[in-house]
Chains A and B, each alone.
Chain A
């Protein structure tokens, strides 16, 4: 079985640019969550989506947005990139909106 798939694996962007990160959940999983992990810190919650609806949002500015598609895949969008957005972005899926998360390997975003 394929796990949680994230693309791209690595990305370099310039300050002020826009970025879109993609996530395909495990087949049958209806919930997707996004986390940001800055070097030396634990993952920090950004969004949770369940059945295409936002269930929760972390303490992130409006530059961060996300959506979930009918096939349960998800996109995380970040506008007007700042140097501080450089981080590992993790996607996690679960069968329902519960704790049973499986994480993907993440997208390493570097903003220069």
Chain B
């Protein structure tokens, strides 16, 4: 039962253009969402997050949008740079689910930014 889904395993964009990575979730109890970036041989690195009480959060070139009614979130990277090439994971959590702050991850989207 995949509660967090990233349906696009890969995405290729030209340097300078916008990258849009998508994520869908099924559990309405999720109240916090995070994006992580992962390079080979490294652990995931936190990128940006959003609370369920917001619909947008921006940090520099990165913006996350949340559509609660559609149970959908997206990460926008503008402008995309070759150094952004990595695997991006969407994750969700909800303290109401249990006493832990476990993250439920999607399967990831591999982004390639072409020079």
Asked whether A and B interact, the reply is yes
- The size of the chain B interface, using a CB distance under 8 A, is 26
A45 touches B107 (CB 8 A): no
> Is B70's CB within 8 Å of the partner chain A?
no
- The size of the chain A interface, using a CB distance under 8 A, is 28
B104 to nearest A CB, angstroms? Answer: 7
Residue of A42, A55, A100 near B89 (CB, 8 A) is: A42
B43 touches A56 (CB 8 A): no
Report chain B residues within 8 Å CB of A102: 46
> Is B99's CB within 8 Å of the partner chain A?
yes
Report chain A residues within 8 Å CB of B32: 99
A55 touches B106 (CB 8 A): no
B44 touches A90 (CB 8 A): yes
Kindly list the 4 A-B residue pairs having the minimum CB-CB distance in the complex, ordered from nearest: A56-B100, A42-B105, A103-B43, A45-B102
Known: A55-B99, A99-B93. 16 other contacts (CB 8 A): A4-B43, A31-B101, A33-B102, A42-B4, A42-B6, A42-B108, A55-B100, A56-B100, A56-B101, A58-B102, A97-B101, A98-B101, A99-B32, A99-B101, A100-B46, A101-B46
Interface residues of A (CB under 8 A from B): 4, 31, 33, 35, 40-45, 48, 55-58, 90, 92, 94, 97-106
Interface residues of B (CB under 8 A from A): 4, 6, 32, 34, 36, 41-46, 49, 89, 91, 93, 98-108
